[in-house]
């Protein structure tokens, strides 16, 4: 016989057509759907915290120490005081402190020989009001410009040796003639590598030892071929000027002579050649006025190139 089947659950009630379905005790509650809370409109948009925790290592916050806090506050007050004092000093001095403007202009002068246009250092025409004999007005025209040269090439050995202590760097030159083309003058600028102290010492040495009046320190002429200055050589140098600028690392010089090639008998510095009582041919020809007037014009041009106007003229 087959084994008896295990006892199973009681049979379910019939679900036929006449059966009655059981009804729940009451209505079902409405279905609830979980919704994230709505952040207020002012909530900042931040990345999830887990990013910060994963990518950055938290560091312990140091313990506050009252002594360090007080010291930091004192330093901050002192710093603000120093800044305020500096601003006040700048306002009272017009924004210039300790000669900074002069220093910047001095630094620019070291390289002016190759940064400034040639017409700014040596204008095509130079006018000298009351610069001639008897305070007559003079006009000079540029006829040649020499390439920039080293001091050994552009200067005589005596003058080159004198200026070598200042770090003689470069020489630029140009030659002019007067309105009648009878006189010629070479104007030069010697750019040095010296600082203000060394240039002041050189200026004092030139003044106390009268180096600007020694014939063995005559500047060299620049004869330009095909011009009226073609025969303006060493023997034709008649009068000269030599000046160390006090506020720039530059020595300005000028040397004048006759355009017809005649040799000068006894060259004279400008102080002697402009003496109205002198009967020397150099003085009588006004060559001292030529050298002095063009040297002054070169100095004016240099200062204008060194300190250009900051505002355009109206």
Tokens of 237: 């140098």
Q: What is the pLDDT of residue 266?
A: 86
Handedness of CA 296, 297, 299, 300 (dihedral sign): positive
Q: What is the pLDDT of residue 108?
A: 86
Tokens of 40: 């207020």
Using an 8 Å Cβ cutoff, are 267 and 240 in contact?
yes
Torsional class of 284: left (φ above 0), alpha (ψ -120 to 50), beta (otherwise): alpha
Say how far apart CA 131 and CA 139 lie, in whole Å.
9
Count of Cβ atoms closer than 10 Å to residue 221 Cβ: 24
Q: What is the pLDDT of residue 44?
A: 45
Adjacency order of strands within the sheet including 125-128: 125-128, 138-145, 168-178, 183-192, 250-258, 239-244, 268-269
Q: Could you write out the three-class secondary structure of the chain?
A: CCCCCCCCCCCCCCCCCCCCCCCCCCCCCCCCCCCCCCCCCCCCCCCCHHHHHHHCCCCCCCCCCHHHHHHHHHHHHHHHHHHHHHHHHHHHCCCCCCCHHHHHHHHHHCCHHHHCCHHHHCCCEEEECCCCHHHCCEEEEEEEECCCECHHHHCCHHHHHHHHHHCEEEEEEEEEEECCCCEEEEEEEEEECCCHHHHHHHHHHHHHCCHHHCHHHCCCCCCCCCCCCCCCCHHHCCEEEEEECCCCCEEEEEEEEECCCCCCCCCEEHHHHCCCCCCCHHHHCCHHHHHHHHHHHHHHHHHHHHCCCCCCCC
Across the 314 residues of the chain, what is the mean pLDDT of every consecutive 10-residue run? 48 46 52 52 41 35 50 53 45 40 73 93 94 90 96 94 90 96 97 92 95 95 95 96 93 97 92 91 93 96 86 52
Q: What is the pLDDT of residue 105?
A: 75
Say how far apart CA 166 and CA 205 lie, in whole Å.
12
Q: What is the pLDDT of residue 56?
A: 33
Residues 6+ apart with CB under 8 A from 39: none
Residues 6+ apart with CB under 8 A from 6: none
Q: What is the pLDDT of residue 247?
A: 86
Q: What is the pLDDT of residue 246?
A: 83
Say how far apart CA 209 and CA 203 lie, in whole Å.
10
Q: What is the pLDDT of residue 251?
A: 97
Q: Indicate the burial class of 189 (C-beta count within 10 angstroms; 0-12, 13-18, 19 or more).
A: buried
Say how far apart CA 149 and CA 283 lie, in whole Å.
31
């Amino acid at each position: 016989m087959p084994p008896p089947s295990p006892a199973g659950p009681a049979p379910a009630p019939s679900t036929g057509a006449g059966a009655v379905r059981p009804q729940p005790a009451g209505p079902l509650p409405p279905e609830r759907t979980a919704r994230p809370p709505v952040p207020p409109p002012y909530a900042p948009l931040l990345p999830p915290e887990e990013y910060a925790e994963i990518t950055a290592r938290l560091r312990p916050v140091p313990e506050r120490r009252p002594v360090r806090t007080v010291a930091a506050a004192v330093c901050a007050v002192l710093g603000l005081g120093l800044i305020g004092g500096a601003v006040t000093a700048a306002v009272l001095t017009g924004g210039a402190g300790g000669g900074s403007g002069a220093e910047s202009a001095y630094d620019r002068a070291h390289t002016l020989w190759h940064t400034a246009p040639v017409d700014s250092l040596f204008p095509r025409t130079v006018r000298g009001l009351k610069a001639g004999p008897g305070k007559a007005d003079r006009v000079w025209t540029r006829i040649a410009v020499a390439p920039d040269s080293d001091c050994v090439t552009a200067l005589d050995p005596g003058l080159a040796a004198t200026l070598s202590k200042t770090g003689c760097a470069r020489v630029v030159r140009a030659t002019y003639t007067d309105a009648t083309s009878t006189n010629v003058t070479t104007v030069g600028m010697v750019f040095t590598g010296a600082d203000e102290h060394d240039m002041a010492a050189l200026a004092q040495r030139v003044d106390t030892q009268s180096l600007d009046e020694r014939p063995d320190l005559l500047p060299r002429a620049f004869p330009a071929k095909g011009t009226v200055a073609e025969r303006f050589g060493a023997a034709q140098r008649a009068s000269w000027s030599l000046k160390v600028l006090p506020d720039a690392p530059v020595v300005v010089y000028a040397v004048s002579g006759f355009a017809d090639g005649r040799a000068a008998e006894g060259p004279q510095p400008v102080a002697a050649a402009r003496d109205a009582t002198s009967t020397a041919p150099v003085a009588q020809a006004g060559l001292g006025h030529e050298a002095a007037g063009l040297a002054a014009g070169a100095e004016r041009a240099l200062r204008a190139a060194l300190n250009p106007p900051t505002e355009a003229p109206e």
